[in-house]
Amino acid sequence: MKKAELVFIPAPGSGHISSAIEFASLLVERDQRLSITILVMMKFTEKVNTTKLASSSHPNISFIELPHAEPPPMELMFKSTDKYITDFIDSHRIYVKEAIVNHVSPNSTKLLGLVLDFFSTSMIDVANELGVPSYVFIPSGANFLAFVLHLVHRHDRVGREFEESEPPSIVPGYNNPVPVNVLPDFACNKEGGYNCLLNHGRRFKETKGIIVNTFLGSESHVVSSLTSTYHDLPPVYPVGPLINHKINQNIMKSKNPKQHGEIMKWLDEQPESSVVFLCFGSGGCFGVPQLKEIALGLERSGHRFLWSIRIATEDVFKQIENIEHKTILPEGFLDRTRGKGFICGWAPQVEILAHKAVGGFVSHCGWNSILESLWYGVPILTWPLYAEQQLNAFHLVKELGLAFELKLDSRIFNDEIVKGDEIAKGVKSLMEEDSEVRKKVRDTSLKSRKALITGGSSYASTGHWIDTMLASNYLL
Protein backbone atom coordinates (compact mmCIF):
# COMPACT_ATOMS: atom_id res chain seq x y z
CA MET A 1 0.00 0.00 0.00
CA LYS A 2 1.40 3.40 -1.02
CA LYS A 3 1.97 5.96 1.75
CA ALA A 4 2.85 9.63 2.00
CA GLU A 5 6.64 9.82 1.78
CA LEU A 6 9.39 11.79 3.46
CA VAL A 7 12.97 11.63 2.17
CA PHE A 8 15.84 11.93 4.65
CA ILE A 9 19.29 13.04 3.47
CA PRO A 10 21.75 12.56 6.36
CA ALA A 11 25.44 13.42 6.23
CA PRO A 12 27.69 10.37 5.73
CA GLY A 13 28.80 9.97 9.33
CA SER A 14 27.73 7.30 11.81
CA GLY A 15 26.33 9.81 14.33
CA HIS A 16 24.37 11.64 11.66
CA ILE A 17 22.96 8.46 10.10
CA SER A 18 22.00 6.81 13.40
CA SER A 19 20.16 9.96 14.57
CA ALA A 20 18.30 10.17 11.26
CA ILE A 21 17.25 6.51 11.52
CA GLU A 22 16.01 7.02 15.06
CA PHE A 23 13.95 10.08 14.13
CA ALA A 24 12.55 8.27 11.11
CA SER A 25 11.58 5.33 13.34
CA LEU A 26 9.86 7.69 15.76
CA LEU A 27 7.81 9.22 12.95
CA VAL A 28 6.59 6.01 11.29
CA GLU A 29 5.64 4.52 14.64
CA ARG A 30 3.76 7.69 15.53
CA ASP A 31 1.78 8.03 12.28
CA GLN A 32 0.89 5.02 10.16
CA ARG A 33 0.31 7.19 7.07
CA LEU A 34 4.02 7.93 6.80
CA SER A 35 6.75 6.11 4.95
CA ILE A 36 10.35 7.26 4.91
CA THR A 37 13.22 6.73 2.49
CA ILE A 38 16.74 7.44 3.70
CA LEU A 39 19.25 8.28 0.98
CA VAL A 40 22.66 6.95 2.00
CA MET A 41 25.91 8.36 0.67
CA MET A 42 28.91 6.10 0.77
CA LYS A 43 31.29 7.21 3.48
CA PHE A 44 34.54 8.67 2.28
CA THR A 45 36.49 5.41 2.32
CA GLU A 46 34.07 2.69 3.37
CA LYS A 47 30.85 1.26 2.03
CA VAL A 48 27.71 1.69 4.11
CA ASN A 49 25.94 -1.62 4.67
CA THR A 50 22.37 -0.59 3.83
CA THR A 51 21.18 -4.19 4.23
CA LYS A 52 22.32 -4.18 7.86
CA LEU A 53 20.71 -0.78 8.44
CA ALA A 54 17.42 -1.96 6.94
CA SER A 55 17.37 -5.13 9.03
CA SER A 56 17.53 -3.09 12.24
CA SER A 57 14.88 -0.53 11.34
CA HIS A 58 11.11 -0.24 10.87
CA PRO A 59 9.44 -1.88 7.81
CA ASN A 60 8.13 1.53 6.70
CA ILE A 61 11.70 2.82 6.43
CA SER A 62 13.66 2.01 3.30
CA PHE A 63 17.21 2.83 2.23
CA ILE A 64 18.60 3.80 -1.16
CA GLU A 65 22.35 3.74 -1.57
CA LEU A 66 23.31 6.58 -3.89
CA PRO A 67 25.84 6.09 -6.69
CA HIS A 68 29.45 6.71 -5.83
CA ALA A 69 30.58 10.32 -6.18
CA GLU A 70 34.23 11.18 -6.44
CA PRO A 71 35.35 12.69 -3.12
CA PRO A 72 37.08 16.08 -3.04
CA PRO A 73 40.90 16.19 -3.04
CA MET A 74 42.35 14.87 0.20
CA GLU A 75 44.26 18.13 0.71
CA LEU A 76 40.90 19.78 1.44
CA MET A 77 40.29 17.40 4.35
CA PHE A 78 43.40 18.71 6.09
CA LYS A 79 42.46 22.33 5.36
CA SER A 80 38.81 22.04 6.45
CA THR A 81 36.90 18.88 7.32
CA ASP A 82 33.62 20.81 7.21
CA LYS A 83 34.29 22.09 3.68
CA TYR A 84 35.34 18.59 2.59
CA ILE A 85 32.11 17.04 3.90
CA THR A 86 29.96 19.80 2.39
CA ASP A 87 31.56 19.50 -1.04
CA PHE A 88 31.23 15.72 -0.90
CA ILE A 89 27.51 15.99 -0.13
CA ASP A 90 26.98 18.68 -2.78
CA SER A 91 28.40 16.36 -5.44
CA HIS A 92 25.44 14.02 -4.82
CA ARG A 93 22.73 16.51 -5.79
CA ILE A 94 22.03 14.95 -9.19
CA TYR A 95 21.88 11.46 -7.64
CA VAL A 96 19.49 12.64 -4.93
CA LYS A 97 17.08 14.09 -7.46
CA GLU A 98 17.28 11.00 -9.69
CA ALA A 99 16.64 8.68 -6.73
CA ILE A 100 13.56 10.65 -5.69
CA VAL A 101 12.12 10.99 -9.19
CA ASN A 102 12.82 7.39 -10.30
CA HIS A 103 12.43 5.39 -7.10
CA VAL A 104 10.61 7.34 -4.37
CA SER A 105 7.83 9.30 -6.08
CA PRO A 106 6.48 6.39 -8.20
CA ASN A 107 5.98 4.31 -5.05
CA SER A 108 4.25 6.89 -2.84
CA THR A 109 0.89 8.67 -2.83
CA LYS A 110 2.58 12.01 -2.15
CA LEU A 111 6.07 13.32 -1.56
CA LEU A 112 5.76 15.37 1.64
CA GLY A 113 9.20 16.91 1.67
CA LEU A 114 12.93 16.50 2.31
CA VAL A 115 14.50 16.29 5.78
CA LEU A 116 18.06 17.53 5.42
CA ASP A 117 21.10 17.24 7.64
CA PHE A 118 22.61 20.64 8.48
CA PHE A 119 25.53 19.71 6.18
CA SER A 120 23.04 19.02 3.35
CA THR A 121 21.47 22.46 2.86
CA SER A 122 22.35 22.45 -0.85
CA MET A 123 19.54 19.89 -1.17
CA ILE A 124 17.08 22.74 -0.48
CA ASP A 125 17.57 23.46 -4.18
CA VAL A 126 16.48 19.91 -5.03
CA ALA A 127 13.37 20.33 -2.86
CA ASN A 128 12.56 23.59 -4.63
CA GLU A 129 12.97 21.93 -8.03
CA LEU A 130 10.59 19.17 -6.96
CA GLY A 131 8.12 21.67 -5.53
CA VAL A 132 8.20 20.26 -1.99
CA PRO A 133 9.14 21.80 1.38
CA SER A 134 12.42 21.15 3.13
CA TYR A 135 13.19 20.80 6.83
CA VAL A 136 16.62 20.85 8.46
CA PHE A 137 17.47 18.20 11.06
CA ILE A 138 20.15 19.07 13.63
CA PRO A 139 21.58 15.83 15.12
CA SER A 140 23.53 18.03 17.58
CA GLY A 141 21.99 20.05 20.39
CA ALA A 142 20.23 23.40 20.44
CA ASN A 143 23.48 24.87 21.79
CA PHE A 144 25.16 24.10 18.44
CA LEU A 145 22.24 25.57 16.51
CA ALA A 146 22.49 28.70 18.67
CA PHE A 147 26.15 29.12 17.80
CA VAL A 148 25.65 28.64 14.04
CA LEU A 149 22.88 31.26 14.03
CA HIS A 150 25.12 33.58 16.05
CA LEU A 151 27.84 33.02 13.43
CA VAL A 152 25.52 34.41 10.76
CA HIS A 153 24.38 37.37 12.90
CA ARG A 154 27.97 38.20 13.89
CA HIS A 155 29.22 37.98 10.30
CA ASP A 156 26.65 40.54 9.20
CA ARG A 157 28.28 42.93 11.68
CA VAL A 158 32.01 42.15 11.46
CA GLY A 159 32.34 40.23 8.17
CA ARG A 160 35.16 37.85 9.13
CA GLU A 161 36.17 34.68 10.90
CA PHE A 162 36.79 34.51 14.62
CA GLU A 163 40.35 35.28 15.70
CA GLU A 164 42.05 33.18 18.35
CA SER A 165 43.05 36.31 20.27
CA GLU A 166 39.60 37.87 20.54
CA PRO A 167 37.62 37.99 23.81
CA PRO A 168 34.80 35.57 24.68
CA SER A 169 31.59 35.96 22.68
CA ILE A 170 28.11 36.75 23.96
CA VAL A 171 26.00 34.09 22.22
CA PRO A 172 22.18 34.16 22.51
CA GLY A 173 21.12 31.04 24.40
CA TYR A 174 24.28 30.94 26.55
CA ASN A 175 24.40 32.41 30.05
CA ASN A 176 28.20 32.61 30.04
CA PRO A 177 30.52 34.32 27.55
CA VAL A 178 31.92 31.65 25.21
CA PRO A 179 35.73 31.56 24.84
CA VAL A 180 37.20 31.21 21.36
CA ASN A 181 39.19 28.11 22.37
CA VAL A 182 35.99 26.06 22.81
CA LEU A 183 34.47 27.04 19.48
CA PRO A 184 34.35 24.45 16.67
CA ASP A 185 37.36 24.46 14.34
CA PHE A 186 35.34 26.04 11.53
CA ALA A 187 34.88 29.27 13.53
CA CYS A 188 38.47 30.37 12.85
CA ASN A 189 39.04 28.43 9.62
CA LYS A 190 40.10 30.58 6.66
CA GLU A 191 40.28 27.63 4.23
CA GLY A 192 36.55 27.34 3.56
CA GLY A 193 35.29 25.95 6.87
CA TYR A 194 33.99 29.24 8.24
CA ASN A 195 32.26 30.26 5.00
CA CYS A 196 30.85 26.77 4.68
CA LEU A 197 29.02 26.83 8.04
CA LEU A 198 28.07 30.47 7.49
CA ASN A 199 26.27 29.46 4.29
CA HIS A 200 24.57 26.50 5.98
CA GLY A 201 23.34 28.76 8.77
CA ARG A 202 21.94 31.28 6.31
CA ARG A 203 20.02 28.57 4.47
CA PHE A 204 18.36 27.25 7.63
CA LYS A 205 15.92 30.15 7.30
CA GLU A 206 14.79 28.90 3.86
CA THR A 207 13.32 25.75 5.37
CA LYS A 208 9.87 25.20 6.89
CA GLY A 209 11.20 24.02 10.22
CA ILE A 210 14.31 23.19 12.24
CA ILE A 211 14.18 19.84 14.02
CA VAL A 212 16.67 19.41 16.88
CA ASN A 213 17.77 16.28 18.71
CA THR A 214 17.30 17.73 22.17
CA PHE A 215 14.66 18.09 24.90
CA LEU A 216 13.42 21.03 26.89
CA GLY A 217 14.41 19.42 30.19
CA SER A 218 18.03 20.21 29.36
CA GLU A 219 18.00 23.05 26.82
CA SER A 220 14.76 25.00 27.36
CA HIS A 221 16.66 28.26 27.89
CA VAL A 222 18.51 27.84 24.59
CA VAL A 223 15.36 27.03 22.59
CA SER A 224 13.35 29.92 24.05
CA SER A 225 16.25 32.30 23.43
CA LEU A 226 16.44 31.30 19.76
CA THR A 227 12.78 31.95 19.09
CA SER A 228 12.86 35.31 20.88
CA THR A 229 16.14 36.49 19.30
CA TYR A 230 15.69 35.53 15.65
CA HIS A 231 12.22 36.60 14.53
CA ASP A 232 12.67 35.33 10.95
CA LEU A 233 13.64 31.84 12.12
CA PRO A 234 11.42 28.90 11.09
CA PRO A 235 9.74 27.01 13.96
CA VAL A 236 12.19 25.03 16.12
CA TYR A 237 11.05 21.52 17.11
CA PRO A 238 12.93 19.76 19.96
CA VAL A 239 12.21 16.04 19.37
CA GLY A 240 14.87 14.22 21.42
CA PRO A 241 16.57 12.53 22.97
CA LEU A 242 16.81 10.27 19.91
CA ILE A 243 18.75 7.23 21.04
CA ASN A 244 19.07 3.98 19.13
CA HIS A 245 19.12 1.42 21.91
CA LYS A 246 19.50 -1.57 19.58
CA ILE A 247 21.66 -0.91 16.53
CA ASN A 248 24.93 -0.43 18.44
CA GLN A 249 24.37 -3.65 20.35
CA ASN A 250 23.36 -5.64 17.26
CA ILE A 251 26.37 -4.49 15.23
CA MET A 252 28.74 -5.42 18.07
CA LYS A 253 27.20 -8.85 18.43
CA SER A 254 27.56 -9.54 14.72
CA LYS A 255 31.03 -7.98 14.47
CA ASN A 256 32.66 -9.62 17.48
CA PRO A 257 30.21 -11.81 19.43
CA LYS A 258 32.96 -13.30 21.59
CA GLN A 259 34.21 -9.95 22.85
CA HIS A 260 30.64 -8.67 23.30
CA GLY A 261 29.92 -11.61 25.60
CA GLU A 262 33.17 -11.09 27.52
CA ILE A 263 32.46 -7.39 28.09
CA MET A 264 28.96 -7.98 29.41
CA LYS A 265 30.05 -10.93 31.57
CA TRP A 266 32.82 -8.82 33.13
CA LEU A 267 30.39 -5.96 33.85
CA ASP A 268 27.93 -8.40 35.45
CA GLU A 269 30.64 -9.34 37.95
CA GLN A 270 31.38 -5.74 39.05
CA PRO A 271 29.70 -3.85 41.93
CA GLU A 272 27.00 -1.33 41.11
CA SER A 273 28.24 2.09 39.87
CA SER A 274 31.87 1.05 40.35
CA VAL A 275 33.18 1.14 36.76
CA VAL A 276 34.39 4.14 34.80
CA PHE A 277 33.86 3.67 31.06
CA LEU A 278 36.25 5.33 28.59
CA CYS A 279 35.12 5.60 24.97
CA PHE A 280 35.75 8.34 22.43
CA GLY A 281 33.30 7.75 19.59
CA SER A 282 33.68 6.54 16.03
CA GLY A 283 36.53 8.94 15.28
CA GLY A 284 38.20 9.21 18.67
CA CYS A 285 41.71 7.78 18.92
CA PHE A 286 45.06 8.57 20.53
CA GLY A 287 48.74 8.02 19.93
CA VAL A 288 50.74 5.67 22.13
CA PRO A 289 52.20 8.41 24.44
CA GLN A 290 48.66 9.56 25.38
CA LEU A 291 47.44 5.99 25.83
CA LYS A 292 50.25 5.41 28.34
CA GLU A 293 49.20 8.50 30.32
CA ILE A 294 45.58 7.32 30.35
CA ALA A 295 46.75 3.97 31.72
CA LEU A 296 48.76 5.67 34.46
CA GLY A 297 45.81 7.87 35.33
CA LEU A 298 43.42 4.94 35.59
CA GLU A 299 45.81 2.99 37.77
CA ARG A 300 46.38 5.95 40.10
CA SER A 301 42.65 6.64 40.38
CA GLY A 302 42.12 3.23 41.97
CA HIS A 303 38.78 2.75 40.19
CA ARG A 304 37.59 -0.14 38.06
CA PHE A 305 37.53 0.68 34.37
CA LEU A 306 36.29 -0.47 30.98
CA TRP A 307 38.44 1.14 28.28
CA SER A 308 37.76 1.15 24.55
CA ILE A 309 41.12 1.71 22.85
CA ARG A 310 41.70 2.87 19.30
CA ILE A 311 45.15 3.90 18.14
CA ALA A 312 45.70 6.81 15.77
CA THR A 313 47.59 6.31 12.52
CA GLU A 314 48.89 8.66 9.84
CA ASP A 315 45.80 7.81 7.75
CA VAL A 316 42.98 10.04 9.11
CA PHE A 317 40.41 7.42 8.05
CA LYS A 318 42.13 4.46 9.68
CA GLN A 319 42.38 3.46 13.32
CA ILE A 320 43.84 0.36 14.92
CA GLU A 321 41.70 -1.35 17.55
CA ASN A 322 42.99 -4.92 17.49
CA ILE A 323 46.50 -4.81 18.91
CA GLU A 324 48.53 -6.51 21.62
CA HIS A 325 47.89 -4.08 24.47
CA LYS A 326 51.01 -4.95 26.45
CA THR A 327 53.12 -3.57 23.58
CA ILE A 328 51.66 -0.06 23.90
CA LEU A 329 50.79 0.33 27.60
CA PRO A 330 53.17 0.88 30.55
CA GLU A 331 55.17 -2.17 31.57
CA GLY A 332 53.29 -4.28 34.11
CA PHE A 333 50.07 -2.24 33.81
CA LEU A 334 47.94 -5.17 32.65
CA ASP A 335 49.20 -7.36 35.51
CA ARG A 336 48.70 -4.67 38.15
CA THR A 337 45.14 -3.93 37.03
CA ARG A 338 44.08 -7.50 36.32
CA GLY A 339 40.50 -7.99 37.51
CA LYS A 340 39.95 -4.25 38.00
CA GLY A 341 40.08 -3.31 34.35
CA PHE A 342 38.83 -4.54 30.98
CA ILE A 343 40.30 -3.28 27.69
CA CYS A 344 38.57 -3.74 24.36
CA GLY A 345 38.44 -2.31 20.85
CA TRP A 346 35.03 -1.28 19.55
CA ALA A 347 32.43 -1.28 22.36
CA PRO A 348 28.59 -1.47 22.51
CA GLN A 349 28.36 1.97 24.10
CA VAL A 350 24.61 2.20 24.73
CA GLU A 351 24.47 -1.26 26.27
CA ILE A 352 27.45 -0.46 28.50
CA LEU A 353 26.02 2.87 29.70
CA ALA A 354 22.78 1.06 30.52
CA HIS A 355 24.57 -1.44 32.77
CA LYS A 356 24.19 -0.94 36.52
CA ALA A 357 27.93 -1.45 37.08
CA VAL A 358 28.86 1.71 35.16
CA GLY A 359 29.18 4.83 37.32
CA GLY A 360 31.04 7.30 35.10
CA PHE A 361 31.88 8.01 31.47
CA VAL A 362 35.06 9.61 30.12
CA SER A 363 33.76 10.90 26.79
CA HIS A 364 34.65 12.93 23.71
CA CYS A 365 31.30 14.73 24.16
CA GLY A 366 29.73 13.85 20.85
CA TRP A 367 26.06 14.80 21.10
CA ASN A 368 24.76 11.23 20.75
CA SER A 369 27.06 10.12 23.56
CA ILE A 370 25.88 12.99 25.76
CA LEU A 371 22.23 12.08 25.26
CA GLU A 372 22.93 8.41 25.96
CA SER A 373 24.79 9.20 29.19
CA LEU A 374 22.03 11.54 30.37
CA TRP A 375 19.34 8.97 29.54
CA TYR A 376 21.03 6.38 31.73
CA GLY A 377 22.04 8.84 34.46
CA VAL A 378 25.80 8.39 34.00
CA PRO A 379 27.88 11.56 34.58
CA ILE A 380 30.58 12.55 32.08
CA LEU A 381 34.21 13.61 32.43
CA THR A 382 34.79 15.80 29.36
CA TRP A 383 37.56 15.12 26.84
CA PRO A 384 36.45 16.68 23.52
CA LEU A 385 38.44 15.96 20.37
CA TYR A 386 36.91 17.45 17.20
CA ALA A 387 33.80 18.88 15.45
CA GLU A 388 31.49 20.69 17.91
CA GLN A 389 32.62 18.61 20.89
CA GLN A 390 34.50 21.44 22.63
CA LEU A 391 31.35 23.57 22.50
CA ASN A 392 29.31 20.64 23.84
CA ALA A 393 31.78 20.16 26.70
CA PHE A 394 31.62 23.85 27.62
CA HIS A 395 27.82 23.73 27.46
CA LEU A 396 27.65 20.66 29.72
CA VAL A 397 30.11 21.91 32.33
CA LYS A 398 29.63 25.69 32.44
CA GLU A 399 26.03 26.13 31.32
CA LEU A 400 24.19 23.05 32.55
CA GLY A 401 26.38 21.70 35.38
CA LEU A 402 25.89 18.16 34.02
CA ALA A 403 29.53 17.09 33.64
CA PHE A 404 32.97 17.23 35.21
CA GLU A 405 35.77 19.05 33.44
CA LEU A 406 38.90 17.23 32.41
CA LYS A 407 39.48 19.29 29.27
CA LEU A 408 37.20 21.72 27.41
CA ASP A 409 39.49 22.75 24.57
CA SER A 410 41.56 19.70 23.65
CA ARG A 411 41.90 18.88 19.94
CA ILE A 412 42.66 15.53 18.35
CA PHE A 413 45.28 16.95 15.99
CA ASN A 414 47.36 18.95 18.46
CA ASP A 415 50.37 17.61 20.34
CA GLU A 416 49.15 18.30 23.88
CA ILE A 417 49.37 15.31 26.20
CA VAL A 418 46.95 15.12 29.12
CA LYS A 419 49.03 13.79 32.01
CA GLY A 420 48.15 10.77 34.13
CA ASP A 421 47.86 12.76 37.38
CA GLU A 422 45.31 15.07 35.78
CA ILE A 423 43.33 12.08 34.48
CA ALA A 424 43.42 10.37 37.89
CA LYS A 425 42.13 13.51 39.59
CA GLY A 426 39.32 13.82 37.05
CA VAL A 427 38.28 10.20 37.39
CA LYS A 428 38.15 10.48 41.18
CA SER A 429 35.84 13.51 40.92
CA LEU A 430 33.71 11.73 38.33
CA MET A 431 33.17 8.70 40.55
CA GLU A 432 32.21 10.55 43.75
CA GLU A 433 28.94 9.00 44.89
CA ASP A 434 27.11 12.05 46.26
CA SER A 435 28.36 14.87 44.05
CA GLU A 436 25.97 17.61 42.97
CA VAL A 437 26.69 16.82 39.34
CA ARG A 438 25.68 13.19 39.79
CA LYS A 439 22.42 14.23 41.47
CA LYS A 440 21.68 16.69 38.66
CA VAL A 441 22.40 14.05 36.00
CA ARG A 442 19.96 11.65 37.65
CA ASP A 443 17.29 14.35 37.67
CA THR A 444 17.95 15.12 33.99
CA SER A 445 17.73 11.42 33.19
CA LEU A 446 14.14 11.41 34.43
CA LYS A 447 13.38 14.53 32.40
CA SER A 448 14.82 12.97 29.24
CA ARG A 449 12.55 9.93 29.57
CA LYS A 450 9.46 12.00 30.37
CA ALA A 451 10.07 14.15 27.28
CA LEU A 452 9.28 11.24 24.94
CA ILE A 453 6.17 9.80 26.56
CA THR A 454 2.60 10.97 25.95
CA GLY A 455 2.29 14.48 27.33
CA GLY A 456 6.04 15.06 27.29
CA SER A 457 7.62 18.10 25.64
CA SER A 458 9.31 16.23 22.78
CA TYR A 459 6.24 14.05 22.23
CA ALA A 460 4.16 17.20 21.83
CA SER A 461 6.75 18.92 19.63
CA THR A 462 6.99 15.91 17.31
CA GLY A 463 3.21 15.74 17.03
CA HIS A 464 3.03 19.45 16.26
CA TRP A 465 5.61 19.07 13.48
CA ILE A 466 3.75 16.09 11.96
CA ASP A 467 0.43 17.95 12.06
CA THR A 468 1.93 21.10 10.55
CA MET A 469 3.69 19.15 7.81
CA LEU A 470 0.58 17.13 6.89
CA ALA A 471 -1.64 20.22 6.99
CA SER A 472 0.68 22.03 4.57
CA ASN A 473 0.25 19.07 2.21
CA TYR A 474 -3.56 19.10 2.66
CA LEU A 475 -3.47 15.71 4.37
CA LEU A 476 -4.84 16.84 7.73
Per-residue model confidence as pLDDT tens for the chain (476 residues): 567 999 999 999 888 999 999 999 999 999 999 999 999 998 754 555 555 565 556 889 999 999 999 999 999 999 999 999 999 999 999 999 999 999 999 888 899 999 999 999 999 999 999 999 999 999 999 999 999 999 999 999 999 999 999 999 999 999 999 999 999 999 999 999 999 999 999 999 999 999 999 999 999 999 999 999 999 999 999 999 999 877 555 555 556 788 899 999 999 999 999 999 999 987 788 889 999 999 999 999 999 999 999 876 554 444 555 678 888 999 999 999 999 999 998 899 999 999 999 999 999 999 999 999 999 999 999 999 999 999 999 999 999 999 999 999 998 877 789 999 999 999 999 999 999 999 999 999 999 999 999 999 999 999 999 999 998 877 75
CA distance 171 to 146: 7
The pTM of the full predicted model, rounded to 2 decimals, is 0.94
CA neighbours closer than 13 Å in the CB half-sphere of residue 390: 19
CA distance 413 to 400: 28
Residue 73 DSSP label: P
Q: Which CATH class is domain 4-244+454-472?
A: alpha beta
CA distance 205 to 454: 30
Do residues 462 and 27 lie in contact, with contact meaning Cβ atoms separated by under 8 Å?
yes
pLDDT of amino acid 473:
76
pLDDT of amino acid 312:
65
Do residues 391 and 181 lie in contact, with contact meaning Cβ atoms separated by under 8 Å?
no
Do residues 97 and 66 lie in contact, with contact meaning Cβ atoms separated by under 8 Å?
no
CA distance 405 to 173: 21
CA neighbours closer than 13 Å in the CB half-sphere of residue 113: 20
Residue 271: φ, ψ to 5°: -65, 160
40: β partners: 65
pLDDT of amino acid 45:
46
Q: Which of 105, 132, 137, 130 is nearest to 37 (CA)?
A: 105
Q: Which of 204, 196, 73, 40 is nearest to 137 (CA)?
A: 204
Domain ranges across the chain:
4-244+454-472, 247-448
pLDDT of amino acid 320:
58
Same fold: 4-244+454-472 with 247-448 = yes
pLDDT of amino acid 58:
81
From 1.20.120.80, 3.40.50.2000, 3.40.50.300, 2.40.110.10, which CATH number describes the 247-448 domain? 3.40.50.2000
Which residues are within 8 A (CB) of 269 and not within 5 positions of it... i.e. 6 or more apart? Answer: none
Cα-Cα-Cα-Cα dihedral sign, residues 195, 198, 204, 206: negative
CA distance 112 to 215: 25
Q: Which of 417, 443, 303 is nearest to 359 (CA)?
A: 303
